[in-house]
Amino acid sequence: MNRAPTLALPLAAWLLLAPGGAQAAGFCAGLDSYKVNPIVGGAPIDLCRLDAKAVLLVNTASACGFTPQYEGLEKLNQRYARDGLRIVGLPANDFGAQERGSNQQIAEFCKVNYGVTFTVGEKLTVPIRRDPLYAQLVRISGKAPQWNFHKYLLSADGRVQSFDSNVTPQSRELVQAIEVALKPAAR
């Protein structure tokens, strides 16, 4: 199995709110200061304030053998966004120098080639292993990205699941984990 064991997220305090009947989760405590600057501009997105039941974070690259996973990620976005999944792509040039483009070039590539509508952040300017968010995710999950399109699924119950690059967006393993993460909590 390519997924690291599911671990409790001791640092995360997922806040469950119900404005307008929608459930929102906050990925806080330890990561609360992490903001993603959308590649297309606009206000930074605070991971603590995302209106989500689950967040799928993916390190991306435009010139990788796994790049076609953008299409599958967009399909996941179309299928599960209304249920509370938020996908955040974080471009990085760490593995094989496969993300050399500027933010503008990356945004255009994603839109033109894959019709991406989920959030794509600005290209990371530090190696993934030194980025504060990834450092926390690696510490919590025990699994560091080994290549592009590594995925972390953050659930409202505090779990962080790690999926290697070869686990595709449509793989049974990832889809089942997303569906479990999106189920309403038992009361």
Q: Residue 166 and residue 151: Cα distance in Å, rounded?
A: 10
Percentages (nearest 5) of helix, strand, coil residues in the chain = 30, 20, 50
With vertex at residue 107, the alpha carbon angle to CA 133 and CA 131, rounded to the nearest 5 degrees, is 15
What residue spans of the chain are helical by DSSP H?
69-80, 103-114, 132-141, 172-182
Instruction: Give catalytic residues, as residue numbers.
Output: 64
Strands 85-91, 119-120: pairing is parallel
> What is the C-alpha separation between 136 and 154, in angstroms, rounded?
12
Determine the Cα–Cα distance for residues 140 and 162; give it in Å rounded to an integer. Answer: 10
Radius of gyration of the chain from Cα atoms?
15
Distance CA 143, CA 160 (A): 10
Tell me if residue 153 falls in helix, strand or coil.
strand
